[in-house]
Amino acid sequence: MIPTNLSSKGQLTIPKKFRLRMKLTGRRRVFVEQRANGTVIVHPAPSILDIAGKLDLKRPLVSPEEERRLTHLAMARRTGEKLRRL
């Protein structure tokens, strides 16, 4: 066990050893859980980088140019505009 301090505002300092192990950086959100026996558990909240690459895409990725062309086409259809060349 490593001792730490609780501030007068109720803020707890997580020792550097644990911050490094949990990959916690400034302003990173954490979840705090209290068990029935009084033990307090700190879990890092998932970041967007934790879920990157885990999404199951329904369609294949397209290039930015193709995405722009498809967006332009969809907007033209929606507004009834005449298509102009990109």
Identify whether residues 72 and 38 lie together within a single domain.
no
Q: Which of 40, 46, 48 is nearest to 1 (CA)?
A: 40
Overall number of domains in the chain: 2
Identify whether residues 50 and 84 lie together within a single domain.
no
Query: What digits encode the pLDDT tens for the residues 10-64?
Result: 998 999 999 999 888 888 889 999 999 999 999 888 877 777 767 666 777 778 8
Identify whether residues 32 and 3 lie together within a single domain.
yes
Q: What span, in angstroms and rounded, lies between the C-alpha atoms of 34 and 41? A: 6
Out of 4-8, 21-25, 76-80, pick the least confident.
76-80
Q: Which of 42, 6, 4, 41 is nearest to 23 (CA)?
A: 42
State pTM to two decimals: 0.50
Domain of residue 40, residue span: 1-55
Identify whether residues 43 and 2 lie together within a single domain.
yes
